[in-house]
Amino acid sequence: MPKKALAVISFGTTYPEARKAIQNLEEQLAAARPEYDFYRAFTSNMVIRKIKREEGITIPTPEELLARLAAEGYEEVICQSLHVIPGYEYEKMCAQITAFTGSFSRLEIGKPLLWQTADYLRICRGMLSHLPKLQADEAIVFMGHGTEHPSNASYALLENTFRFSGAERTYVCTVEGFPNFDYALRRLHRHEVSKVYLAPFMIVAGDHAQNDLAGDGDGDGSWRSILESEGYGVNVLMEGLGTYPETAKIFMEHLPE
């Protein structure tokens, strides 16, 4: 029997509690391919170094993992990305993996969460079934990571998909791209909203969610503190996408057969 491996690859997070969202997805993907040996890799070198320094845990990069699998005689390897969009991190991962094409008889890569229209429709409708039903003066603002990569347009499509799914006062902004938080503030003012739910649109509720989204210090510049300073009531929903059942279902559909 040929040796087979499933590599589940994410950006990673330095927050152990938030890492449970990654573990949840990994466990479901591994259960879907019981004939494959499971392995984890992270694409963020900064995250890998900090976990090693603070927790004594060594997590490989995709390159390190594939080199190990080749050395151990694996013949078939399927890699499933846990990235949200096909941006720079996803492309970096793909380049690292494809460099090992000649090392295995089979090497395939699964798509990120948001790849085709059906993925957007499914995640929006699925999340709405778990989120609070908004009153007339309420709105929800999601925080995406954002990027200079053209795939940043995914966030605008995501917001429009929420709206198409019946969630009119649902806004998607990013930390490192456009639309930024100023966009949400303008929409909230225009629609006379008084209470705002904040939630990460990221696999984990890690550093950006804990600090940029939900930080509660005066003048810390977090979205929460800005809203509260302007008189909004704020409720933070600190759940990463990895905890939603629909997220796992989409990734399992993207997992190579």
Catalytic machinery residues: 145
CB hemisphere CA count around 85 (13 angstroms): 21
Which residues make beta-bridge pairs with 37? 5
CB 156 within 8 Å of CB 120: no
Task: Convert 55-84 to b/e letters by CB count within 10 Å (16 or more is b).
Answer: eeeebbbbbebbeebbeeebbbbbbbbbbb
- Examine residue 179 and say whether the peptide bond preceding it is cis (omega within 30 degrees of 0): yes
CB 225 within 8 Å of CB 216: yes
Place of tokens 């279902």: 249
Q: Tell me the two tokens of residue 233.
A: 């009531």
Which residues make beta-bridge pairs with 236? 198
Give the separation between CA 122 and CA 224, rounded to whole angstroms. 28
Quick one: angle between helices 245-254 and 117-128, nearest 10?
Answer: 160
Give the separation between CA 139 and CA 128, rounded to whole angstroms. 12
Kind and range of the H or E run holding 229: helix 223-229
**Which spans in 72-221 are helix H?**
88-98, 117-128, 154-164, 181-190, 207
Quick one: angle between helices 154-164 and 117-128, nearest 10?
Answer: 50
